[in-house]
Structure 1
Amino acid sequence: MNLQNILIFAHRGSKGTHPENTMAAFQEAAEIGAEGIEFDVHLSSDGELVIIHDETLDRTTNLTGYVKDHSSQELKTADAGGKFSKEFLGERIPFLIEVFDWARDNTLLMNIEIKTDKLAYEGIEQKIIDLIHQYRMENRVILSSFNHQSIEKVKMLAPELERALLFEGLPENFEEILRDKKEAGFHPDKNSLTQAMSVKAKKLGYKIRPWVANDEADIIKLAEMDVDVIMTDFPEKAIKILKAWQSHG
């Protein structure tokens, strides 16, 4: 078992130690040596690509209501750090363009989750694709979604980009879905993934990137399943656990 192949992706940045989906969280992930970051994209009322997890602003910021009902200017005034802890007061909601600007100076892979599973953001796929091309990030992004129609759209619009199917709970016919869709990434929740499923997905040519493993037992269990990526809220801790596991392997 060659552990070098298992990468650590910081889920919403280093969500366990920093306010999720903020530049502070992404910077932390880069500094501690994660190979990738995972984050979520919505649209503002004026069609800008906004990085935040929920459809609404209430949980993580000092604003309320839907992201889609606020202009990018309004969203730029929001505080996205204070609710996590006072030391992050003034941390902003980032936009995709800012993350790409920042990413020019590092080599992080970026798993962009298109948040079309609850709201249909008209044209969001094309906007993301255009920005990827503009910044020449083609080899550094993976586009994923629970809404597999969004992934289908990306496939039509930009077949060269890497795409992944997100699952929460696995349908009986998951193997059939993977075979039909012929995508690159299989992103199941960690509790649904079994060794047998992992083997099946691998045979179909998929990269397996389960989410989200935070404690040692879960991280080691996934490593033993020979997954490609472990998504975690605590990337620094996960890297240490993996290294220790490897040295005892």
Structure 2
Amino acid sequence: MPLIRVLGRAAFISSRTIKPRPLFNAFVSPLFIPQRQLLPHSRTIVTVMSQETKCNANARILPDCWGHRGASARFPENTLVSFEAAARDGAEGFESDVHVSADDVVLMFHDSSLERTTDSTGKIKDRNWYGPQGMEHVRTIREPRQPIPTFTQTIELLMRPENQHIKFNVDVKPYNNPERLFKLMNETIVAQPSWQTVLAPRIILGLWHPKFLKPAKEILPYCRRTNLGGNLAIARKYFWNDVHGFSILFDTLTSSDGQRFIGECQRAGKTLIVWTVNEPAEMMEAMRWGVDAIITDTTNVYLDLRVELQSEHISLFISRSHILTILHCVLLRSFR
């Protein structure tokens, strides 16, 4: 039976499952398949049968939503309240950054220093977490004022029963020491109950520099690895054979080489994530590309858009399946 994919407003025939059928394709393609054919990709599909159509309304047919530093458009970035808000919105994952303090505590923080977003100063690597002057007392400038979360606290959030479906994309900044960071992360991860099945498959390492590849394989072999960046030449040369996927800047993928890279990833079965996408028009474009996840500050905006599009897709398929059923009956009668 023919399998049809939905992305944006277009229905795509999956070439890996269908032999050419000129009459069927002629009927389907003129209005609904754009001139630029999308490559086959493992997304949710809807089955169209000759006598009935079964639509799974609960299936996800559009890219995952991952909160960029949580739901950072509405809450202080890289804080537990921001991560929790992304989860409440319905995001399938969130992204955050890691640094290590002078006393070996892994923190969730973007910058290497504290000034931009907190009421304190100094380099994280030079400051202790514990103690009277420790970073455990630092608070965000933005309201509601929040403490910096540790990696352990974030993992505990992910281990709550209501959050055990959420993916955690860990942005590993290049100035970290790979062995030191990954060993500390591993200690926290393996201390969790049933970590091999409940936690490990949900942790994705975002690696900017090739120096992290070997330590990641040796110390955190159970974590999925992605190359994080905006340089496709570096992605192809240094990361292609050693990562499960790529997390690429949106603007990079709009170029002609970016479009080629999308095709290369889809053919090779590499996961493709795009960041940071906050405008609805850009969200629509990323959906059209067939990426696996969209990283956004505005999780509520993307999720609302996705719900609206999903409902339109189901309605579109129901109406089109009725037409296909009628055509099928006409063809059967014509050959009797």
Give TM-score, length-normalised by structure 1.
Answer: 0.90
* Distance in structure 1 (CA, Å) of the matches to 2:120 and 2:213: 30
* Distance in structure 1 (CA, Å) of the matches to 2:272 and 2:76: 26
Match of 1:6 in 2: 63
> Structure 1 residues 196 and 53 mapped into 2: Cα distance closer, same or farther (>3 Å)?
same
- Would you say 1:67 and 2:124 are equivalent positions? yes
CA contact (8 A) 1:210 1:229 kept: yes
Based on CA coordinates, which of the two structures has the bigger radius of gyration? 2
Query: What number of residue pairs does the alignment pair up?
Result: 241
Amino acid at match of 1:187: S
Match of 2:107 in 1: 50
* Structure 2: tracts of 5 or more residues without a match: 1-5, 7-43, 45-59, 314-336
* Distance in structure 2 (CA, Å) of the matches to 1:128 and 1:118: 16
Match of 1:94 in 2: 149
> Structure 1 residues 154 and 62 mapped into 2: Cα distance closer, same or farther (>3 Å)?
same
Match of 1:36 in 2: 93
Question: Could you tell me how far 1:185 is from its partner in structure 2?
Answer: 1.9
Match of 1:112 in 2: 170
* Distance in structure 1 (CA, Å) of the matches to 2:260 and 2:138: 45
* Distance in structure 1 (CA, Å) of the matches to 2:150 and 2:190: 16
Amino acid at match of 2:275: W
Q: Identity across aligned pairs (percent)?
A: 25
Match of 1:218 among 273, 277, 282: 282
CA contact (8 A) 2:226 2:246 kept: yes
Give TM-score, length-normalised by structure 2.
Answer: 0.68
Alignment of 1:1-249 (within 5 A): 1=6, 2=44, 4-73=61-130, 74-80=134-140, 83-85=141-143, 88-89=144-145, 91-105=146-160, 106-107=163-164, 108-115=166-173, 117-120=174-177, 123-135=180-192, 136=195, 137-171=199-233, 174-181=235-242, 183-193=243-253, 194-249=258-313
Query: What do the CA deviations read for 1:14-63 (whole angstroms, capped 9, x no partner)?
Result: 11110000011011011111010100110011011011000000001111
Most deviating of 201-210 and 14-23? 201-210
Query: What do the CA deviations read for 1:95-145 (whole angstroms, capped 9, x no partner)?
Result: 011111122111211111122x13546511121122222221212211112
* Distance in structure 2 (CA, Å) of the matches to 1:122 and 1:63: 28
CA contact (8 A) 1:151 1:165 kept: no
Most deviating of 221-230 and 130-139? 130-139
